[in-house]
Structure 1
Amino acid sequence: MPRLVDHEERRVAIIETTWNIIATKGIENATMRDISAECGYATPGIISHYFVNKRELLVAAYELICQRTNERIDEVLKSRRGLEALLAMCLEIIPAEELTVLEAKVAVAFWQLAQTDDQLRRIGASALDRWNRQIFQCLTEAKSAGEVPSSLSVDNSCSELINVMVGLHITSMLEPSNLSASNQRHLIKRIIDNWKTKDCAASATSAT
């Protein structure tokens, strides 16, 4: 008996194949024909059952990559609070692992298109807004727990961290040999450590 087609599974597989092509060949070279061939389909017609055209596929690809990142962030935040939660969240965003490097390559490609595409810009802006609110929550918790000084500007700190992480996406693509995964993690940790109160910083130093 032939296996029933799981249409959602196939749809996701098409999107994931699109990510890989974008990451290796660039978004302009991610043609429906190439995507179809990479998926093992004889013609691009099969893809048209799931996506009307390349634009619809690209929008879905950007939405899903943001969704996947957000799901991982939500998972690590479940059992953490304050600065521990903040660090865990940042490590799910910066391109310091095989998965996040792929996501960064795809995201940077979409950021270029988003300059002239309002729908793609809204998708990216929504993700950044969500991350900003989550960083704000983590720092608010850290303030309540005395991990950071009461004088710390949460708004300014959120802005600093978001912009550093976005910058890491770009610089890691341009100079991968000069920005290792270890360097990225160290940079993020150093930023967060610099916000700590003296008591918390001294405790963390003595524990290492």
Structure 2
Amino acid sequence: MMPRLVDHQERRRSIIETTWQLIASHGIDNASMRDIARECGYAAPGVLAYYFPNKDALLLAAYELICERTNERIETGICGRRGLAALRGLCLEIIPANPLTVVEARVAVSFWQRAQTEEPLRAVGRDALLHWRALVMGFLAEAEYDGECATLADPDAVADELLNVMFGLHITSMLDPDAITGSRQRHLVERALSRLTAGEPAAHQTVPSTADSDGLRR
């Protein structure tokens, strides 16, 4: 009988996904290599060393994969779109508005804390941020060219505002998930995007209370 071939790339991803789940439920510092190995079905953590020499390498790979998967979803979400439609697709893929992205957001927030002192993690996050910002700037330029919005006096500020809305939702949805639900996050993104077509500055808008009976808690 021929031995079963091992798909090492698939096993590597499985280890990373198990790491995500442990970090999301127990925190990054409480997810030990022994715990990860046990959750993966291995008797000893030494098996993980074939794929990751230490916990830092595993954490770095886990953060990289989160960014890669987000980019894959963005590519799918913006396929065939441009301007404001593409910008909307990007925003809705970044915010943690469904069960999968909620887990990823919890893990990402843990990495952001470590990234303050660990340059490899900070570099991964910075590269992802710069990539998303470049996409936002490109979509804004398309929206202006296509006449979807008026000429923007400060497109850099608009891009930064949108990015801070999206990343801020990672924090607020984690702290108060009952209020900052997926539907409310999508609503807030739509409000931010609507200001582009309305030509109104953010300071003139009032965000509705979570107590509004507009279906935002669904």
Q: Residue 83 in 1 paired to residue 84 in 2? A: yes
Q: Is the 8 A contact 1:115 1:121 kept in 2?
A: yes
Structure-1-length-normalised TM-score: 0.93
The separation in 2 between residues aligned to 1:139 and 1:154, in whole angstroms, is: 7
SS at match of 1:79: coil
Contact 1:77 1:85 in 2 (8 A): yes
Contact 1:94 1:169 in 2 (8 A): yes
> Which structure shows the higher helix fraction?
1
1:86 & 1:24 partners in 2: Cα distance?
Answer: 32
Matched, 1:194 2:195: yes
| Aligned residue identity for 2:159 | C
Which one-letter code corresponds to 2:135 in the other structure? Q
Q: C-alpha separation between the residues in 1 aligned to 2:43 and 2:79?
A: 44
How far is the alpha carbon of 1:154 from its aligned partner? 1.3
Q: Aligned ranges for residues 171-186 of structure 1 at < 5 Å?
A: 171-186=172-187
Once the two structures are TM-superposed, the CA of residue 197 in structure 1 deviates from its matched residue by 4.9
- Shift, 1:95, TM fit: 0.6
- In the TM superposition, residue 158 of structure 1 has moved relative to its aligned partner by 0.2
Counterpart in 2 of 1:12? Answer: 13
CA contact (8 A) 1:147 1:197 kept: no
CA distance in 1, matches of 2:152, 2:48: 54
Q: Which consecutive segments of 4 or more residues in structure 1 shift more than 3 A?
A: none
Instruction: Say whether 1:73 aligns with 2:47.
Output: no
Matches for 1:46-125 after TM superposition, within 5 Å: 46-125=47-126
**Which stretches in structure 2 are left out of the alignment for 5+ residues?**
200-218
Determine helix, strand or coil for the equivalent of 1:196. Answer: helix
Give the Cα–Cα distance (whole angstroms) in 2 for the partners of residues 165 and 81 of structure 1: 19
Letter in 2 for 1:83: L
* Mapping of residues 29-40 of structure 1, within 5 Å: 29-40=30-41
Once the two structures are superposed, what CA deviation does each residue of 1:72-108 show, in whole Å capped at 9, x if it has no partner? Answer: 1122222111101111111100010111111100100
Q: Deviations over 1:19-47 (max 9, x none)?
A: 11000110001100000000001111110
> Measured at CA, do residues 90 and 184 of structure 1 come closer, stay the same or move farther in structure 2, by a change above 3 Å?
same
Q: Does 1:2 align with 2:26?
A: no
- Mapped to 2, the partners of 1:195 and 1:63 lie a distance apart of 32
Q: Distance in 1 between matches of 2:94 and 2:142?
A: 20
Q: Quick one: which amino acid aligns to residue 100 of structure 2?
A: L
2:64 corresponds to which letter in structure 1? Answer: E
Deviation at 1:71, TM superposition (A): 1.3
Paired residues of 1:17 and 1:35 also in contact (CA < 8 A): yes
Q: d(CA) in 1 for partners of 2:121 and 2:192?
A: 30
Which residue is 2:133 aligned to?
132
In 2, distance between residues paired with 1:121 and 1:192?
28
The letter for the 2-side match of 1:131 is: W
Output the amino acid matched with 1:124.
G
Q: Distance in 1 between matches of 2:140 and 2:3?
A: 54
Structure 1 partner of 2:29: 28
CA contact (8 A) 1:21 1:30 kept: yes
Unpaired segments of 5 or more residues in structure 1? 199-208
Alpha-carbon distance between aligned partners in 2 of 1:54 and 1:179, rounded to the nearest angstrom: 32
The residue that corresponds to 2:152 in the other structure is: 151
Partner Cα separation in structure 2 for residue 9 and residue 53 of structure 1: 19
Instruction: Decide whether the 8 Å contact of 1:135 with 1:158 is kept in 2.
Output: yes
DSSP-derived class of the 1:100 partner: helix
User: What are the Cα deviations for residues 145-198 of structure 1, in whole angstroms up to 9, with x where unaligned?
Assistant: 111101342111100000111110011111111111111000000110111157
